[in-house]
Structure 1
Amino acid sequence: MKPVIPTALLTASLLAACSSNPTTPATQAARPAFVSAVQVTATDTPAAVAQRLGGTILSWPTDCTGSCTALVGLAERPAATLGAQSAGTVEANRDVFSGGGSMTAVMGGSRAYIFGDSQTPWSSSGENAIPENAPLWQKIGLEQAHSMAPKLGAGVTVAVIDSGIDLTHPAFQDSLTDASSWKDFYGADNLPQEEGEIGVGGYGHGTNVAGIVMQVAPAAKILPLRVLGPDGSGDVAGVAQAILYAADQGAKVINLSLGSVENSSIVEDVIRQVTARGVYVVASAGNANQNSISYPAALATRKGSLGEYLLSVGSSDLNDLKSSFSNYARTLEIVGPGENVYSPYPDGRVAGWSGTSMAAPMMAGGLALALGQGLKVSGKDLTKKMAESAFDVYNNGANEAYKDMLGVKGRVDLVKFLKDTTQQ
C-alpha cells in the first residue's frame, strides 16, 4: 500500500463525542433523571422492584445467586420513606458535566488528518500497514510483539465502550463480534453506529479507538457498544449497563476511552463486579494537563479486583515525554504514545487523532495479545506486569517535573511485557 497523502485537514474538538450519518437524526434512549443501583436476590422480580421504586428497570441480573445489582431509572429521587437500603445507590444520570456521577468523553484538543477513501484491507504491519503509525509501533515494539504472540489475540473479545464505530468501514468487516451481540445504549437499539458528520464534534472517535485495538491485536474480536451521543456526553446508566453487558457477552478486556472529573459509585460498583470476574478494564486518564486523573481511571489503585484488573493510561510523545495534554498523577500506572495515532475513520477513511483516548486501546490490545497467547503469570498480576515492564521515562532526568507521575515506570514496552507474562 502506498503512503496515503493528506487531502483535507479536520480540526476536531475531542471533548465532544462522536456523532453518525448527517442525514439521519440521532435517536436516543429514554433518559431518566436519576439512576439507582439496587441490590436484588433471586426471589425479587423486575416488576416488583420497579413498582416499589416507581421507576423503570434498565438492567436486571441474569442467573443471580446471592445478592446482585439491578439498575433502575427514576424520574425523581426516591422518597425518604423507602429507606437507603431499599432505594439503593441513587445518582444523577443525565449529562451532568460539572456534577458527580456523569460520564463524559475525555478527549481534549487534538487535530485529525483525514485521508482519501481506501477500500483496501489494512493491517498493523506489512504492505497494507498505515505508514504514519510506523514510529509509534516501533516505539512500543509492536512488530516483535506480533512475532512473540503469533495468535495475535485470537479468541479474545475486546469491548470498545465509546461513541460507536463505523460498522460499514472495510477495516472492520472481519474484526467484529457477531452482530447479534452489538448494542447501542445511547440509541436504544442494536446498531452502535457513529452518528454525526465530518468536522463536527468528535465524529470518528470510537472508530479510531476500535481501530487501534485492532492494529495491536489483529485477531481479537471487537465488541462495539455505544454510550456517547453527538454532544460528547454519556449517561451513568448507559456506561454502567454497557460494562455489565460486555462482561456477560464474554469480553475479556473492556476499553473505556472516556471519563468524568468526579466518581460515579454506580460505575465503580459495576467495574468492581466485572473485574471480580476476571475481566480487564482499561481507562484513559484524561486530557486536561492536570495533576489528577479522571474516573474511572483513578480507581485503578484501589484494593482488590479494581487494583488488579483495572489499568489507568496517560499519554506520551515519541520522545517519551509527557504529552502536553495528558493528565498525570502518582497513581497513574502507565503511558503510551497517544499523539497522532492513525486509524479508521467513518466513510472508509483513515484519520489521526491525539489523546489519552488513543493510548488506552494500545494497552487493551496488548492485554489481548497476552491473553490470546496464554499466560505464565497469574491473571490478577497481568496489569501490574504491564506497568512494571514499561520503559523508564524518568531516566537521566527526563520528565523531571513529572517524576513518578507518568506511571510505575512509564511508557508501555510490549516486547518486555510479553516476555514477562506469556508462554514462549
Structure 2
Amino acid sequence: MTSTQTGLLLALTVSLLTACGSTLPGLAGDRQGQTAPRYDYLATVPLQSGDTVASVQAAVGGTVVSWDKSDCASGLAGSCQALVGMNGAASLSAQSIGNNLGRVVTVEANKDQFSGGGVLTATINGSRAYWAGGSLLAWSGGSRAYWAGGTYDPIPQNSGLWNTLHLQQAQALAPNLGAGVTVAVIDTGLDLSHPAFVGSLTDPSTWKDYVGGDAAPQDEGTLGVGGFGHGTNVAGIILQIAPMAKIMPIRVLGSDGSGDVINIASAITWAGAHGAKVINLSLGSTSDSKTVQDAIKAVTAKNILVTSSAGNGNVDKLTYPAATSEQIGGLLSVGSVTPLDVKSAFSNYSKDLQIVAPGEIVYAPAPGNMMAAWSGTSQAAPMAAGALALAMGQTLKVPVSSLENILTNSAFNIYINPLNIPYAKDQKLGSGRLDLSAFLAQSVK
C-alpha cells in the first residue's frame, strides 16, 4: 500500500470511527440480527436461599435472563443475583418488586447504548485473501503465515506493530504462549468455522449468543457493513500475541455493532462463571450502567482481568466501562496510537486512561476464510488482553491482581514525542504505549 493510499485510508477511518463512536439511542427495540427476545427494562435481584427462577419471575413480572448463584457466600456486588428482563412501561417499580421479595432491587432502562466502534479499514490490496489448508495466502511475495498445531508465525502485514511491541522477545519470555488461559471475547461473535480458530476455541458448552438466543455466537452480516467481522478481528489479535490461549466467544452485539445493557452484563457474568481468566470488551457507551459496573466488579474480585476500549470520538472522556477503570481494580482502559506512537486521530483520551497500544490497520482473520484490517481502540484493547494471557500462562512473580499495575508501569514513554505533548499534562494517554517484553520481564519467572 502506498503512502497516499494509507493517508486516504486513515482519513476515511477517522470519519467512520467518529460516526461509530456515538451512543446508540433509545430503549431495546429491533436490532439488526436480533432474534432473541428484547427487553425495555432490567431488574437486578439479589438471590436468597429458596429462590427459584419461577418465584423470581413471578415477583418481578419478567423473564430471568441471567441467574448466578455461584458465589453467594462472597457478598460481592454482582455475585449471587439474577437479571430479569421486563417489557412495557415497567408497571412494577424497584420498590414494589423489592417489597414483593423482601430485599432491595434495582431497575434500569435496558438501553441499546453500547457500540463496538472500530471500522474495517483494509483487505489485502482491496481484494480478498483466503485462508486455505491452515495457511494465510498473503500478497507480499507469496509469503504465508501458518496456523498449525497451536503455533503461529505472525501475519507479516503486522510485523511493524509486533516489532514495536517486542512481541518476539515477549513470547520468548513466555514460552507457554498463553496455554491454559481462557480469554472471553464479548463482541459480535466469531466466524466459528474460520481455520484460524481451529483448536483455539473453548468447549462449545461455554459459548453464548445473547443476540441470537442460542449457543452459536456466529459473526453475521456483510463484511464492511456495521460491526460484521469486528469480533473475529479482535479474537485474531489476541491469538497473534498469545497463540496457545483459548478464546471463549460470546455474542452481545448485533451485525450493526450495537448491544444493550442486559446482554453486556449477562455476558460478563457468564464468562466469569465459565472459566475466563481475561475478558476483552472492545465496546463502549457514553452512558454508564450500574448493572454492567457491578458485573465487572464481581469478576475482577475473583482475579479475572478485564480490558476495555477507550472509545473513538477523539474527545477528552472515555466511554464506559473504560471510564470506570480508575475506580475498579482489574479493569484496564486502553486507547490507540499510530505505529509511530502518536495518538490516533480517533482515540479518546483522558486523565483516567491507563495505557495505549497500536490500533490502526491491524490485520487479523475476517469472516469467510479471509484476512482484513480494522482500526480503532477496539483493536488496541485485545493487545493488552493478549499480553495478560501471555503472563497468566506462566508462573508469575506477582499476584494476578498486580498485573494491571505492572502492565501500565512498564509502558514505553510516548510523551517524549513532541506530537503527544498536548496530552502530557495529567497523562491523558495513560502511562504510555504497551511494551510486551518489558511487561513479561517484570511479571513472570
What TM-score comes out, normalization by structure 2 length?
0.84
Change (3 A) 1:35 1:339: same
Runs of 4+ in structure 1 deviating by more than 4 angstroms, as ranges, are 9-14, 83-87, 123-128
1:29–1:367 CA distance, 2 compared to 1 (3 A): same
Match of 1:360 in 2: 381
3-state SS of paired residue (1:410): coil
**Residue 256 (structure 1) shift:** 0.2
Deviation at 1:356, TM superposition (A): 0.3
Partner of 1:178: 203
- Matching residue of 2:108: 91
Report matched runs for 1:25-424 at 5 Å: 26-66=33-73, 68-75=80-87, 76-80=89-93, 82=96, 86=103, 88-95=105-112, 102-107=113-118, 111-114=121-124, 115-119=128-132, 120-121=134-135, 122=145, 128-302=153-327, 306-307=328-329, 309-395=330-416, 397-403=418-424, 404-423=426-445
Q: CA deviation at 1:58?
A: 0.8
| Gap regions ≥5 residues in structure 1 | 1-5, 18-24, 96-101
Gaps of 5+ in 2: 1-5, 23-31, 136-144
Alpha carbons of structure 1 residues 207 and 151: separation in structure 2 relative to 1, 3 Å: same
CA contact (8 A) 2:356 2:430 kept: no
Counterpart CA distance in 2 for 1:236 and 1:415 is 36
Closer/same/farther in 2, CA of residues 70 and 321 from structure 1, 3 Å limit: same
The CA distance in 1 between the partners of 2:292 and 2:408, in whole Å, is: 24
CA distance in 2, matches of 1:290, 1:150: 39
RMSD of aligned alpha carbons = 2.4
Native 8 Å contact 1:123 1:218 kept in 2: no
Q: State the 1:246 CA deviation.
A: 0.5
Quick one: structure 1 residues 52 and 406, their matched pair in 2 at CA, closer, same or farther if it must change by over 3 Å?
Answer: same
Closer/same/farther in 2, CA of residues 236 and 416 from structure 1, 3 Å limit: same
TM-aligned CA deviation for residue 16 of structure 1: 9.0
- For 2:213 and 2:369, the matched residues in 1 are separated by 25
Q: Distance in 1 between matches of 2:388 and 2:253?
A: 24
Q: How far apart are the structure 2 equivalents of 1:73 and 1:261? A: 22
1:347-367: CA deviation from partner (whole Å, max 9, x where unpaired):
000001110000000000000
In the alignment, the residues of structure 2 paired with residue 196 and residue 79 of structure 1 have an alpha-carbon distance, to the nearest angstrom, of 37
Residue 137 of structure 1, CA deviation: 0.2
Using the TM superposition, give the Cα deviation of residue 272 of structure 1 relative to its aligned residue in structure 2, in angstroms. Answer: 0.4
Post-superposition CA distance 1:265-320 (Å, at most 9, x none): 00000100010111000000000000000100111100xxx22x110000001111
What is the CA-CA distance between 1:254 and the residue it aligns to?
Answer: 0.2
> Is the 2:221–2:228 Cα contact (8 Å) retained in structure 1?
yes
Residue 391 to residue 124, structure 1, CA distance change in 2 (3 Å): farther
- Structure 1 residues 83, 42: CA separation in 2 closer, same or farther (over 3 Å shift)? closer
Note the C-alpha offset of 1:42. Answer: 2.4
1:327 CA displacement: 0.2
Shift of 1:123: 5.2
Whether the aligned pair in 2 keeps the contact of 1:53 and 1:87 (CA below 8 Å) is no
1:20 alignment partner in structure 2:
none
Q: Kindly, what percent of the aligned residue pairs are identical?
A: 48
What amino acid does structure 2 have at the position aligned with 1:117? Y
What is the alpha-carbon distance in structure 1 between the residues aligned to residue 219 and residue 389 of structure 2?
Answer: 24
- Once residues 223 and 127 of structure 1 are traced to their aligned partners in structure 2, the CA distance between those partners, rounded to angstroms, is 19
Q: In the superposition, relative to structure 1, how do residues 167 and 83 fare at CA in structure 2: closer, same or farther (>3 Å)?
A: closer
TM-score (normalizing by structure 1)? 0.88
Rounded Cα–Cα distance in structure 1 between residues aligned with 2:268 and 2:146:
28
Q: Structure 1: how far apart are the matches of 2:200 and 2:344? A: 30
2:25 matched to which residue of 1? none
Q: How many residues align?
A: 398
